[in-house]
């Protein structure tokens, strides 16, 4: 152990941030807010909180470090605990949605930006903390953007004799900081000397039709032509794609039985990955082994994996964006920006000279946007506005946003919150209703919180909680390529004519009856870990219900009330069958179809309630239930009256 600690100390001292330690501490002492810019891997996230702790500047309150993603918060907390030679949850802890490891001894706390925002609801001054470090500021997630305003206000409100001051650090991996600096009253900017070795670039010679396939073949080309041990980092888009590519690469590697080549160790990496699998990514390779990490944009800046020499960039990213004309958030695979392309490239040259393979042509690169659009300018604001109101911010458009969302998107979100009864909006004021205040207690989209709140009235809170917990987890289905048919057949017995939500409920119940059995999951092509996660999420949601005095009743076998509750929350996501057999969403008349993975696929119910609209060329309704037109009108008469579909509803319903 002493040897191990010595090695760690040596590593810490060799990081680019180490020579800047003194200068950094001086700046932090002099200023209330400092901006730190440094390339990924320079040591910002792991070292700066330790430096502050070493000075004992955290005596009066914890140091809180935000991360846009849970994987990063978890794995960095683990790493820092190791560097400080303490157990996770003691001096160093973390807090992410539905998972926490902190104690009264915790001084360095890594949290997701969403969690800190949630804490601000009960404590807008964030008085537990003496330091708040908003990390990965360049990512400009909605939660980080809103935290800028909340932290700035907390700092100014704590600047008085009877309160302890709050110190703030903004950290970013990109250089365009004028915007941040202006926003934070011309805070000083500290640039860390980066370490960048030369990187040889390769572009696609022509446009690739199938980026997944071309990415895979590039990986094998590297693997075959450079039989060294250097690791490969691959950027793709989402969990399902990454899992399936990881599977295929493992298969091909086995089939080729590339005896003379290094052994391939394949790691998927995405935000929803269970924590122990995340940490596996950092495990050193054995002699004769090569790591291939297949990641979402999470490895762009949030997570630094040592040993990468090759980067393969698909040039794509999956982002959630709000379509104001349809009123829905959609997940779409899009081209990355040039800034992101350079971040990805940089991953190859951290420790030695490296190689970057871009799966797009130079012309395609030049056509990319320079920078990504901040999330707050492209996503549904309902959750955030609900939270801002819960924090006590009354006038949303006057809130001190670093970039103001458009009045249209605020209006849209306000309307969504009004129709589910979370707020009362008058011309100059937004008022949280008692129901809205309860909805804000749940770390969920307001529409799901609304469905839960309707549970007691229909006697089925228990079942709604289960469905929401499963939706909050990653997919519970396992569809190994080549065995898809088998998997679907194995799960047929759970299928419900009522739709996917009830099917999920039946699966969850069966999982509980099996005593949460792993083998049972395997036999039924279900993901044991994600189901177990849903059990934990559900447990926590039950706790919140208890705190809010929401009785958790069960409706047992008759599940119609469950679909009614879902309708009460998700009625803005319903599509109606047209005479020509197509579906149009009720709210915006957008054309869509039932996703082939839905149990309702092939049928033609009159009204389909959907959880998400997925765009892959066409718009598909994903995770659906059959609903009754009468329920719609019952839960939101005003809404449907203003949308002029009252006649349609009552005509079909009667």
304 vs 461, beta carbon nearer ligand ADP: 304
Cβ–Cβ under 8 Å, residues 571 and 609: yes
12 vs 263, beta carbon nearer ligand ADP: 12
176 vs 516, beta carbon nearer Mg ion: 176
343 vs 416, beta carbon nearer Mg ion: 343
Site string for Mg ion, 34-73 (x = CB under 5 A): ----------xx----------------------------
282 contact, one of Mg ion, ligand ADP, none, CB 5-8 Å limit per kind: ligand ADP
Instruction: Pick the stretch among 71-79, 96-104, 437-445, 466-474 that binds ligand ADP (CB under 6 A).
Output: 71-79
H helices of 347-396, in order, are 362-367, 382-391
Residue 45 sits in the site that holds ligand ADP (CB under 6 A): yes
Residue 383 sits in the site that holds Mg ion (CB under 5 A): no
Instruction: Pick the stretch among 51-59, 75-83, 105-113, 447-455 that binds ligand ADP (CB under 6 A).
Output: 75-83
Instruction: Pick the stretch among 41-49, 243-251, 382-390, 588-596 that binds ligand ADP (CB under 6 A).
Output: 41-49
46 contact, one of ligand ADP, Mg ion, none, CB 5-8 Å limit per kind: ligand ADP
Residue 21 tokens, joined: 């330690």
**b/e for 148-166, b at 16 or more Cβ within 10 A?**
bbbbbbbbeebeeeeeeeb
524 contact, one of ligand ADP, Mg ion, none, CB 5-8 Å limit per kind: none
Tell the smallest beta-carbon distance from residue 234 to Mg ion (Å).
20
For ligand ADP, which residue of 24, 28, 42, 219 counts as binding (CB under 6 A)? 42
Question: Phi and psi for 153 in degrees, rounded to 5?
Answer: -65, -45
41 contact, one of Mg ion, ligand ADP, none, CB 5-8 Å limit per kind: ligand ADP
Give me the torsion for CA of 145, 146, 150, 151, rounded to 10°: -30
- Chain centroid to CA 386: 19
Tell the smallest beta-carbon distance from residue 286 to ligand ADP (Å).
16
Task: Using alpha carbons, list the distances in angstroms from residue 503 to 477, 478, 508, 623.
Answer: 12, 15, 9, 10
Cβ–Cβ under 8 Å, residues 416 and 572: yes
88 DSSP assignment:
B
Taking the C-alpha atoms of residue 275 and residue 72, their distance in angstroms, rounded to an integer, is 10
Tell the smallest beta-carbon distance from residue 384 to Mg ion (Å).
24
Site string for ligand ADP, 96-135 (x = CB under 6 A): ----------------------------------------
Cβ–Cβ under 8 Å, residues 265 and 232: no
280 vs 630, beta carbon nearer ligand ADP: 280
308 DSSP assignment:
E
Residue 489 tokens, joined: 């057949």
Tell the smallest beta-carbon distance from residue 183 to ligand ADP (Å).
21
Taking the C-alpha atoms of residue 75 and residue 300, their distance in angstroms, rounded to an integer, is 15
Residue 625 sits in the site that holds ligand ADP (CB under 6 A): no
Taking the C-alpha atoms of residue 351 and residue 607, their distance in angstroms, rounded to an integer, is 57
Taking the C-alpha atoms of residue 135 and residue 188, their distance in angstroms, rounded to an integer, is 16
Tell the smallest beta-carbon distance from residue 44 to ligand ADP (Å).
3
71 vs 336, beta carbon nearer ligand ADP: 71
Taking the C-alpha atoms of residue 322 and residue 613, their distance in angstroms, rounded to an integer, is 11
540 contact, one of Mg ion, ligand ADP, none, CB 5-8 Å limit per kind: none
For ligand ADP, which residue of 18, 203, 282, 528 counts as binding (CB under 6 A)? 282
For ligand ADP, which residue of 50, 215, 304, 343 counts as binding (CB under 6 A)? 304
Residue 40 sits in the site that holds ligand ADP (CB under 6 A): yes
Residue 79 sits in the site that holds ligand ADP (CB under 6 A): yes
Residue 68 sits in the site that holds ligand ADP (CB under 6 A): no
Residue 343 sits in the site that holds ligand ADP (CB under 6 A): no
Residues in the chain: 654
Task: Using alpha carbons, list the distances in angstroms from residue 215 to 137, 226, 299, 314, 350.
Answer: 29, 17, 16, 6, 22
Taking the C-alpha atoms of residue 435 and residue 645, their distance in angstroms, rounded to an integer, is 26
- Please work out, in degrees rounded to the nearest 5, the angle formed at the alpha carbon of residue 502 by the alpha carbons of 618 and 327: 40
286 DSSP assignment:
P
The residues of the shown chain that bind ligand ADP, judged by CB under 6 A, are 15, 38, 40-47, 75-76, 79, 282, 304, 306
The residues of the shown chain that bind Mg ion, judged by CB under 5 A, are 44-45
């Amino acid at each position: 152990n002493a040897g191990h600690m010595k090695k760690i100390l040596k590593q810490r001292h060799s990081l680019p941030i180490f020579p800047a330690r003194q200068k950094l501490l001086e700046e932090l002492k002099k200023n209330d807010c400092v901006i730190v810019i440094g390339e990924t891997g320079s040591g910002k996230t792991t070292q700066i909180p330790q430096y502050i702790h070493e000075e004992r500047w955290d005596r009066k309150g914890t140091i809180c470090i935000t991360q846009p993603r849970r994987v990063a918060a978890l794995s960095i907390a683990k790493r820092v605990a190791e560097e400080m030679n303490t157990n996770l949850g003691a001096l160093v802890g973390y807090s992410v949605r539905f998972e926490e490891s902190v104690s009264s001894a915790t001084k360095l706390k890594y949290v997701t930006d969403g969690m800190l925002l949630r804490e601000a609801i009960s404590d807008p001054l964030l008085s537990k903390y003496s330091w708040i470090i908003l990390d990965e500021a360049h990512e400009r997630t909605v939660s980080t953007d809103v935290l800028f305003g909340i932290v700035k206000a907390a700092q100014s409100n704590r600047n008085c004799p009877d309160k302890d001051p709050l110190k703030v650090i903004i950290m970013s991996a990109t250089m365009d900081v004028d915007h941040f600096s202006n926003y934070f009253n011309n805070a000083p900017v500290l640039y860390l000397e980066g370490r960048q070795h030369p990187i040889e670039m390769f572009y696609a010679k022509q446009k690739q039709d199938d980026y997944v396939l071309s990415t895979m073949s590039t990986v094998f080309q590297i693997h075959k032509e450079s039989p060294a041990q250097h690791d490969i980092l691959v950027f793709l888009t989402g969990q399902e794609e990454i899992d399936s590519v990881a599977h295929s690469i493992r298969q091909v590697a086995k089939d080729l039985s590339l005896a003379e080549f290094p052994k391939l160790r394949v790691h998927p990496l995405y935000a929803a990955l269970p924590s122990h699998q995340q940490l596996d990514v950092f495990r050193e390779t054995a002699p004769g082994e090569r790591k291939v990490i297949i990641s979402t944009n999470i490895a762009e800046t949030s997570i630094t994996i040592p040993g990468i020499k090759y980067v393969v960039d698909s040039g794509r990213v999956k982002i959630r964006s709000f379509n104001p004309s349809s009123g829905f958030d959609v997940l779409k695979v899009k081209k990355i920006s040039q800034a992101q392309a350079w971040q990805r490239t940089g991953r190859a040259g951290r420790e030695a000279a490296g190689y970057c393979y871009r799966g797009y042509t130079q012309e395609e690169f030049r056509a990319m946007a320079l920078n990504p659009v901040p999330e707050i300018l492209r996503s549904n604001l309902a959750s955030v506005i609900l939270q801002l109101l819960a924090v006590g911010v009354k006038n949303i458009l006057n809130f001190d946003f670093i970039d103001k969302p458009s009045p249209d998107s605020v209006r849209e979100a306000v309307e969504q919150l009004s129709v589910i009864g979370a707020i009362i909006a008058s011309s100059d004021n937004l008022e949280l209703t008692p129901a809205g205040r309860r909805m804000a207690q749940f770390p969920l989209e307001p529409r799901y919180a609304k469905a839960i709140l309707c549970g007691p009235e229909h006697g089925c809170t228990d079942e709604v909680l289960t469905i929401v917990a499963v939706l909050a987890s990653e997919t519970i289905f396992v569809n190994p390529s080549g065995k898809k048919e088998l998997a679907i057949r194995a799960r047929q017995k759970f299928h419900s004519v009522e739709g996917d939500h009830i099917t999920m409920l039946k699966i969850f119940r069966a999982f509980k009856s099996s005593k949460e059995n792993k083998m049972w999951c395997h036999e039924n092509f279900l993901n044991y870990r994600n189901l177990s996660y849903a059990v934990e999420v559900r447990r926590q949601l039950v706790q919140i219900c208890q705190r809010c005095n929401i009785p958790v009743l069960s409706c047992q076998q008759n599940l119609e009330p469950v679909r009614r509750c879902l309708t009460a929350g998700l009625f803005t996501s319903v599509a109606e069958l047209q005479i020509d057999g197509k579906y149009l969403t009720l709210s915006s008349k957008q054309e869509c179809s039932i996703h082939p993975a839905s149990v309702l696929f092939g049928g033609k119910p009159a009204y389909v309630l959907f959880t998400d609209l997925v765009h892959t060329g066409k718009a598909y309704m994903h995770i659906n239930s059959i609903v009754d037109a009468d329920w719609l009108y019952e839960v939101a008469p005003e809404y449907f009256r203003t949308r002029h579909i009252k006649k349609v509803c009552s005509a079909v319903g009667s």
